[in-house]
Amino acid sequence: MNEFSILIGGKAGFGIDKASGVIGRLLNQLGYRIYIYRDYPSLIRGGHTFSIIRASKSRIAVHQEKVDLILALNQETFDLHKSRFKNDCFFIYDLEQVKVGAEYTCGLGMPLGEFLKEETAPEIMRNTCIIGALAKAIGLNFDVLENVLKKEFTKDIDLNIKVALRGFKESKELIKIEPLKQESLPLLTGNQAIAFGLIKGGLDAYVSYPMTPSSPILHFLAEIADDFSLDVIHPESEISVILMALGFSYMGKKAAVGTSGGGFCLMTEGLSFAGMAELPVVIILGQRPGPSTGLPTHSAQTELNFALNAGQGEFTRFIVAPADAEEAYYWSAICMNMSWKYQIPGIILSDKNLGESVFNFDINAVGEIKEETSVSWDRKSSYKRYLITEDGVSPLAFVPDKDAIIKVNSYEHDEFGITTEDPKQTKLLQEKLLRKEKFLAEDLENFTTVKVHGDKNSEVALLCWGSNKGVCVETAKGLGLKVIQPIVLNPFPVKQFQKAMAGVNELICVENNATAQLAKLIRCYGFSVDNTILRYDGRPFSLEDLAEECKKLGLVRKEKTYG
Amino acid sequence: MAKVELGTYAQNTWCPGCGNFAILNAIKMALGELNAEGIPLENIVLVSGIGCHAKIVDYLNVNSFYSIHGRTVPVAEGIKLANPDVKVIGFAGDGDAYGEGIEHLVFAAKRNIDITMIIHNNRVYGLTTGQYTPTSPLSFRGRSTPQGTAELPINPLEIMLASGATYLARGTSHGIELLKKIFKEAILHKGFSLVDVLQVCVTYFNMYEYYDKRVYELKDHNHQDYYQALNKIREWDYNKDAPIALGTFYEKEIPTFEDRFFLKKNQGTIDKDFKIKELLKKSI
């Protein structure tokens, strides 16, 4: 089998997320490449939560609507998702919770509650029990599952194994999934990949106030803080978050902050301050559907305009939108490096679709990340924090240094950092702040800031950014189209974009927002799109969704013919 | 020991007679003495907000972080956590610290983080030309409240005591010696310290005479005693006429945020790439 999908669903509080992680790992052991789509409401208990675990022979970063197997822990899972069945018989359900129609009796129903009682296990372990049943249903040996459970659970391991074994014994084989002969790769969420990337970039401190979809970065870094000697702090508000981070930055400590749109609103005065005072800081902006509170636990690409324009005044900023785990790791590290090299704020645009989905992560496929050093003070002349230089970047010194007085300032200031209202100084400083952008843009020519995927000779191309890459690349593959994916969004990589556009006659912009923000952005640089495919219901595109939209537009491969 | 030069070339733009001069002179004396007593000046960072008070960092030849309105406290906290050996002194106005940024002040006191806050409390917005602040008395006629304010002032020291501050004192801009003494105490205090300075704005709210008539220095006051401190803090509510106590209200040594928060300092010795690969292996 080249590929298949499993859906597991139940109420929030049933441990669906944990279960999907276990299933993902289980299939990962067989050498499949995994992608997990997670869908859950904004509440603690109840509601409907489900995950789709997709396994494939090749790398994937999108889910499919149709699934091969459904694990239903409650009625809603069955009712809401039965339309996804490829084969009516391939589902396992809790006989005590789910009533299926007569036409569905061929599914595998099991009294999970009864099994748990007999095994003297708590109610929450129904997920483990149904995973046991799944392992048998796909023809695995129990020891594969046992090993995975040992890795996934830190407590009650023996009981979980016992419960899984019961489910396994009570089950029967439905579809045999053959192992593949390829090495298994680690599984990471996009958020974990961002966290590792920040660490790779030299992270010293992570300051954050909880907000979906970025909170998992805070949780993950807090958990591994000791391993990497990090200061992980959760202060009273996002305002405090960014100002605290700037305090760290002033002291020469590399700091990052994470939030979503609402928290970023509160951070904008700090962002502008970072621009003016030339204090490096990395901001992870996990987008979600808005305006305002919107759909907190769902996905959208709504903050590109906001990230580009947030904060008063004019200053240089770096904005990057990675699409999958490898890009998240690589560009988070690069973002930290660039932020320090140019003493500017760097923004990593993420969303729930990237942050909370699970991907395979191949560290060997990530490009080399060079360590960048900030320019240090030569100690020859007296220290000036804002020394005017050719590229706008002033040498750094940090407290305590007995030979340097280090003054940063939110006002217009002179080279030493003292407030000034002098028009000449004001002009010099403004030019210094903006000159950095030119040098940063030149520097970025050494990186692949615009990626081209699919059929490079196709005249028809999909344009996408961030987490939509996965669905666009796979769709384009089926249709023989080209895909253009700018990763750096500011400074906009005009040269590389121009190159990517060579030979393109029809450009279709695919975005998870209602106003096609990237299409607007490229217009500033003289490019235009011919059509847009937009989804703004809070859900990312599935493979089928985008294929359908492409079909509606009649998108087919066209190649330029000569002669 | 040679006297250190603490001034800068910045032109002083405070109004003649401004109470900020007293704070500037007192902090210069305090820093000079602390330096002579063995605290290197390079280990000191000054943080300010925005307002007349904030110009003080331009006038002092010491490391400084001229921050934004209301945000002195989180910046000071970040600096302290980045290097706990550094002494961080925050300057803020009353509109700044008690208005826009009071949330930060409450939380810093709650954490008992070892920073010092000096509040230039002139009970009026100066730089924005004369509006009421959180400590202006009831019926204060400012440019945004020409009919007089309809709200009572807060008692900032009472809020700070309730929030967990471990050093609280008050001074006035008539009384440099006392200011110097309490500034030094506050800076040396291990934990969150705040000095409320009744600093007079000669242009928009000249209270020199009012304060001179009512202030007295605390004597026979047990500043280790929470309830004595509370009583003395409540004696004057920043509104009604009452004697105004000056000096140290409260001082208590308890573990600081930094003591409790495990600060890691062996960053250089960690092989990050190896650790990342180790964690990745676990996630196969």
Q: Are B216 and B171 in contact (CB under 8 A)?
A: no
Instruction: Give me the pLDDT at residue B5, please.
Output: 82
Chain A residues whose beta carbon lies within 8 Å of the beta carbon of residue B58: 418-419
Contact: B58, A230; criterion CB under 8 Å = no
Q: Where are the alpha helices (DSSP H) in A153-260?
A: 157-170, 190-200, 215-228, 238-250
Domain ranges of chain B: 20-282
Chain B residues whose beta carbon lies within 8 Å of the beta carbon of residue A227: 270, 275, 279
Contacts of residue B224, Cβ cutoff 8 Å, sequence gap at least 6: B251, B252
**B2-28, pLDDT tens digit by residue?**
466 899 999 999 999 999 999 999 999
Instruction: Give me the pLDDT at residue B264, please.
Output: 55
**A327-370, pLDDT tens digit by residue?**
999 999 999 999 999 999 999 999 999 999 999 999 999 999 99
* Residue in chain A nearest B110 by alpha carbon: A236
Instruction: List C-alpha distances in Å: A291 to A207, A249, A262, A301, B237.
Output: 25, 31, 9, 12, 43
- At A536, give phi and psi (nearest 5°): -140, 40
Chain B residues whose beta carbon lies within 8 Å of the beta carbon of residue A401: 42
Residue B232 is encoded by which pair of tokens? Answer: 């003395």
C-alpha span between A470 and A479 (Å, rounded): 15
DSSP B169-210: EEEESS-HHHHHHHHHHHHHSSS-EEEEEE--BTTTB--HHH
- Per-residue burial over B31-54, b if 16 or more Cβ lie within 10 Å, else e, is bbebbeeeeebbbbbbbbbbbbbb
Residue B131 class from Cβ within 10 Å (0-12 exposed, 13-18 middle, 19+ buried)? middle
Distance from the first to the final alpha carbon of chain A: 44
Contact: B283, A417; criterion CB under 8 Å = no
Nearest to B65 among A200, A245, A250 (CB): A250
Which residues in chain A land under pLDDT 70?
Answer: 88, 560-563
Contacts of residue A309, Cβ cutoff 8 Å, sequence gap at least 6: none
Chain A residues whose beta carbon lies within 8 Å of the beta carbon of residue B68: 243, 269-270, 273, 410
Domains A188-365 and A450-552 belong to one CATH topology: yes
Contacts of residue A330, Cβ cutoff 8 Å, sequence gap at least 6: A197, A322, A366, A367, A369
Which residues in chain B land under pLDDT 50?
Answer: 1-2
Kindly state the DSSP code that residue A408 receives in the 8-state scheme.
E
Superfamily the domain B20-282 falls into: Thiamin diphosphate (ThDP)-binding fold, Pyr/PP domains (3.40.50.970)
Nearest to A233 among B10, B79, B81 (CB): B81
Domain ranges of chain A: 3-170, 188-365, 375-447, 450-552
Instruction: Give me the pLDDT at residue B269, please.
Output: 76
Residue A300 is encoded by which pair of tokens? Answer: 């959208």
Instruction: Give me the pLDDT at residue A44, please.
Output: 76
Q: Name the CA radius of gyration of chain A, rounded.
A: 26
Residue A470 class from Cβ within 10 Å (0-12 exposed, 13-18 middle, 19+ buried)? buried
Contacts of residue B86, Cβ cutoff 8 Å, sequence gap at least 6: A251, A399, A400, B43, B44, B45, B79, B80
Chain A closest-CA separation from residue B139 CA (Å) = 32
Residue A422 is encoded by which pair of tokens? Answer: 């002098």
Superfamily the domain A3-170 falls into: Pyruvate-ferredoxin oxidoreductase, PFOR, domain III (3.40.920.10)
Chain A residues whose beta carbon lies within 8 Å of the beta carbon of residue B261: 231, 233
Report the predicted TM-score, pTM, of the whole model to 2 decimal places.
0.97
Nearest to A399 among B45, B77, B78 (CB): B45
Q: Are A54 and A37 in contact (CB under 8 A)?
A: yes
Chain B closest-CA separation from residue A401 CA (Å) = 6
Fold for domain A450-552?
Answer: Rossmann fold (3.40.50)
Chain A closest-CA separation from residue B105 CA (Å) = 10
Contact: A418, B58; criterion CB under 8 Å = yes
Contact: A411, B66; criterion CB under 8 Å = yes
Instruction: Give me the pLDDT at residue B266, please.
Output: 55
* Residue in chain B nearest A246 by alpha carbon: B75
Chain B residues whose beta carbon lies within 8 Å of the beta carbon of residue A240: 73-74, 77, 103-104, 107
- Interface A:B, Cβ pairs < 8 A: 173
DSSP B35-92: HHTT--GGGEEEEE-SSGGGGGGTTS-S-EEE--TT-HHHHHHHHHHH-TTSEEEEEE
Q: What proportion of chain A, given as a percentage, has pLDDT over 70?
A: 99
Instruction: Give me the pLDDT at residue A563, please.
Output: 43
- Per-residue burial over A540-557, b if 16 or more Cβ lie within 10 Å, else e, is bbbbebbbebbeeeebee
Instruction: List C-alpha distances in Å: A439 to A330, A482, B43.
Output: 21, 31, 34
Fold for domain A188-365?
Answer: Rossmann fold (3.40.50)
Nearest to B129 by CA among B111, B139, B142: B142
